Amino acid sequence: MRKANLNKLEILFKKAAPKAAKRASLGVNGIGYYVHFPAKAPIDEYVNATSIRPGTVQFYFNAKAHSLIARAILPLYVQLACNRCFAREVVKAIQSGNKGRLAQLIRRYVKACALQSVCIANSGFSLGFVFPFSPYKVYNEFFRESLRFRRPAQRKKP
């Protein structure tokens, strides 16, 4: 991770989650990694990112923090993937801007003491984790991304 070695990450991802690796694409930088899953238009893809905020630090990666975050969020993502009622409730909380309800839903499955914040962000959510052994807050984010570009409005000639 520190070296932003995408090839090595892809090999590890294929070993850990072979079915997901067939559908997903990956991105990596010196502070985290991103998993992109295709979706139907107009969304195009869902993105899960675990990273320190860009601009905070360069090439700092704490494997222990990332491992603990992965362990903590797994029950949440299992529910999002398998429980349509729960997923609808999460979407409803995000779309209505109800941060309290979103936090309540997420904290039902993410039990880690290190989870410091739950926010609505980028048409999804952002979970902020703080660990005593790391000087930086690490975020796990889930959001939808639309890659479609709209044509700029035509200007009328005077």
CB 61 within 8 Å of CB 157: no
φ/ψ of 17, rounded to 5, equals -145, 75
- How high is the pLDDT of residue 5? 62
Which residues on adjacent β-strands are paired with residue 37? 46
CB 110 within 8 Å of CB 37: no
- How high is the pLDDT of residue 151? 45
Query: Measured at the alpha carbon of residue 101, what is the angle toward residues 35 and 92, in degrees to the nearest 5?
Result: 65
User: What is the band of 4 on the pLDDT scale with cuts at 50, 70, 90?
Assistant: low
Query: CB-based burial of residue 128 (10 Å sphere; 0-12 exposed, 13-18 middle, 19+ buried)?
Result: middle
155 pLDDT above the threshold of 90: no
Q: What is the pLDDT of residues 67-121, one digit of tens each?
A: 999 999 999 999 998 999 999 999 999 999 999 999 999 999 999 999 999 999 8
- How high is the pLDDT of residue 157? 47
From 93-102, 120-129, 146-155, the region with the lowest mean pLDDT: 146-155
112: its two tokens = 């880690």
153 pLDDT above the threshold of 90: no
Q: Distance from CA of residue 37 to its chain's centroid?
A: 11
Indicate the pTM of the whole model.
0.81
